[in-house]
Structure 1
Amino acid sequence: MFMCDDNKKSVVLTNCRNRWKGFKTRLTRDYFVTQKKNEVEHPPWNIYSGITEDDWEKFKQIRESDEFKELSEQNRTNQQENEHPHRMGRGGYGHADQEYMRAKIKEALLSAPSSSGAESATSTSTVATRPRYIKWIDGRTDKKGLIPNPKTRLVVNTIHDLVEKEKVGEFIPVGSHDILTEALGNSEHGGRVRGIAGKANLTSFFKRKKRRQNEIMVPLKQLQEYAKLVRDQTIVELEVKWEQRTYEILKSCGITPPCDVEFKTRDFTPPFPNSSSVHSFEPDPFVNTSKDELPCELKVPGNRVVAKGVLCKHL
């Protein structure tokens, strides 16, 4: 029996599960998939003291069953659907982060002119972190600094474009919808965060608050489109009200507009007809005017003619 602190119990059990799973995977690969070893020349119960012949027979029956073969084939199919596999090996992002920090600390120590400067550089390098889109790119870059996967290269180009757009304010990250999520074109999985070590989740990494039951999440693009629609509708409503007020003022002054119209704002359509419809049904008031009379028009914003008249020099 092992005694474990309650605060470390979850971490210890997780590590034990991963080690046990990795051990069974290695046995399956060596004895059943690649057949690098066989139980005649390399009996597992002779290599590993914790395995007996009975344990091996039970394990062998499970691995050779149709259910396991079907599950294994399904896992291989799922792996092939991964369009951007990483090249970091078993260590993953956690090991890559450690290697990156060691390299940065070593670089800072070599460039520091004094011991105090070296200490300062060490602490600074330890605190420094990389954006997760940088980690994601590094995880898919080979030792020559190249990205062999053509689909991944397209995503990397999109990431570089989004970085420039963020600098000028054309792209604004919101929560988990950051540069990497936008470049990949799909949202984060609920149980993990891409570009980050496996222990991180959406809540801990993005500092998410628990969503209330009546809270509605709206995408940023949809909010921007809605704001534009409201702005355009408000402008149209103001134009309609302005024209309606102008129409009332003209009638109170005894000036007859081109035609009587109904003002409707429900569909946000400007109420006044265009000039072609007016000229089609009404006579031109500027015909047969004397030299002492000067034709004039009254227009509102949008170059709309709301009234026509004649300016007389002598009343």
Structure 2
Amino acid sequence: MNSASQKWRDFKNKLTSRFVWPNKDNPEKLISPPSQYQLPLADWKAFVDARLDPSWEVTHEKQKQRTMHCKYHHRMSRKGYIGLEAELRNKKLVAEDEEVDRSVLWRKAREDKSGNITCSETSEVAEKIDELLEKKGKGEFKSSGMNDVLTAALGSQEHYGRVRGVGGFVKPQVYFKTLRKKRETISKVVIENVKAQSEETKSLKAELEMLRSQLAAVIPLINDRSSETVASNKFSGVKDSKLSDDVQDVYDCGCGALSS
């Protein structure tokens, strides 16, 4: 199904690039479908209308920008990595029982018929692959799972849905023989407990805010009463001190009169 989906997209892309876009300014040539394909007229008209719609042109431009980030273009045509590996075995470049490193296939896929790599960026990666393969043979480089020669040479991690250098529709779990992470299920009891704790936390926060507001209203009254008490104590202290002095004067005068 994945292969059929890819071929269907490729076919629509061929129709767009070869027949629709070159004739978008000449509507007369778009009336009938291409003669080499037995396409119903209604389907062809709907396809042309969809491709000439401005919204599709925006989508096309976005995809074009994404494609520009692809720097290392292969030269395998339609044979793919599986066909390339079979070709290497037929030419006795690889033994029948030898396991071909995917970095070797990646490098060979970007060579021309003379065995040369014309792109400078691809050539740099190819040189790194040769160096790492040599170190691997000497035991100076150890590959583990996805961290192998090709990943180190490219300097980017492997995509979770595909594997570079081995062909389409190959998942990393299959190629690298890694276990797929199981989804962790949460029981309904745990979910209910979390909800209950969340509601309790909200209730406690509301009570705390209410207490803070009540405390904010009471503090000014407490401060006012404290000020009145301090002032009262000071006033009473002044009166008691004066009364004590008057009593002492009277006592002194009485004692003096008795002695005389």
Pairwise TM-score range, normalised by the shorter structure: 0.5 to 0.7
Q: Could you say which structure has the higher strand fraction?
A: 1
Residue from 158, 161, 171 that aligns with 2:128: 158
Question: Is 1:176 the counterpart of 2:164 in the alignment?
Answer: no
The residue type equivalent to 1:137 in the other structure is: R
Bigger relative CO (Cα 8 Å, ≥ 6 apart): 2
Query: Are positions 1:48 and 2:48 aligned together?
Result: no
Relative to its length, the structure with more helix (as a share) is 2
- C-alpha distance in structure 2 between counterparts of 1:192 and 1:73, whole Å: 24
Q: Name 2:119's counterpart in structure 1.
A: 149
Structure 2 CA distance for aligned equivalents of residues 157 and 47 of structure 1: 45
* Partner deviation per Cα, 1:35-90 (whole Å, 9 max, x = no partner): 599863993165433x2222111101110112211121122211111121111123
Equivalent residue letter for 2:29: V
Residue of structure 2 equivalent to 1:15: 3
Question: In structure 1, how many angstroms separate the alpha carbons of the residues matched to 2:163 and 2:127?
Answer: 21
Residue 128 of structure 1: how far off its partner (Å)? 3.4
Normalising by structure 2, we get a TM-score of: 0.62
Q: Are residues 1:74 and 2:62 paired?
A: yes
Go from structure 1 to structure 2 and tell me whether the alpha carbon gap of 1:45 and 1:212 turns closer, same or farther (over 3 Å shift): closer
How many residue pairs get aligned? The number is 183
1:206-237 Cα distance to aligned partner (Å, 9 max, x none) = 101234789xxxxxxxxxxxxxxxxxxxxxxx
Q: Report SS of the residue matched to 2:18.
A: helix
C-alpha distance 47-162 of structure 1, shift in aligned 2 (>3 A)? closer
Q: Percent identity?
A: 30
Measure, in 2, the Cα distance between the counterparts of 1:132 and 1:210: 22
Once residues 158 and 104 of structure 2 are traced to their aligned partners in structure 1, the CA distance between those partners, rounded to angstroms, is 17
| SS of corresponding position for 1:90 | coil
For structure 1, the 5+ residue unaligned runs are 1-12, 109-123, 215-315
Q: Give the Cα separation in 2 of the matches to 1:204 and 1:178.
A: 16
SS of aligned partner of 1:40: helix
Distance (Å, rounded) in 2 between the aligned partners of 1:149 and 1:45 = 36
* CA-to-aligned-CA distance 1:286-310 (integer Å, 9 cap, x gap): xxxxxxxxxxxxxxxxxxxxxxxxx
1:200 aligns with 2:170: yes
- Aligned partner of 1:4 in structure 2 is none
Cα 1:41–1:76 change in 2 (3 A) is closer
Conserved 8 A contact 2:30-2:48? no
Q: Counterparts of 1:56 and 1:168 in 2: how far apart (Å)?
A: 60
Which protein is bigger by CA-based radius of gyration?
Answer: 2
SS in 2 for 1:44: coil
- The offset of 1:102, in angstroms, is 3.4
Contact 1:31 1:38 in 2 (8 A): no
2:188 match:
none
2:70 is equivalent to residue 100 of structure 1? no
Deviation at residue 195 of structure 1 after TM alignment = 0.4
Deviations 1:98-147 (Å, cap 9, x if unpaired)?
3333333xx99xxxxxxxxxxxxxxx62x433110000001111112111
1:128 aligns with 2:98: yes
Q: Distance in 1 between matches of 2:143 and 2:32?
A: 56
Contact 2:31 2:45 in 1 (8 A): no
In 1: Cα distance, 2:131 partner to 2:49 partner: 53
Aligned to 1:232: none
TM-score (norm 1): 0.52
Work out the CA distance in 2 between the residues paired with 1:139 and 1:145: 10
Q: How does 1:28-47 map to 2 (within 5 A)?
A: 28-35=16-23, 40=29, 43-44=32-33, 46-47=35-36
Matched-pair contact (CA < 8 Å) for 1:159–1:179 = yes
The 5 Å alignment of 1:99-118 reads 99-104=87-92
Alignment correspondent of 2:204:
none
Cα distance change of structure 1 residues 198 and 85 upon mapping to structure 2, 3 Å threshold = same
Relative distance call for 1:102 and 1:148 in structure 2 (3 A) is same
2:12 matched residue in structure 1: 24
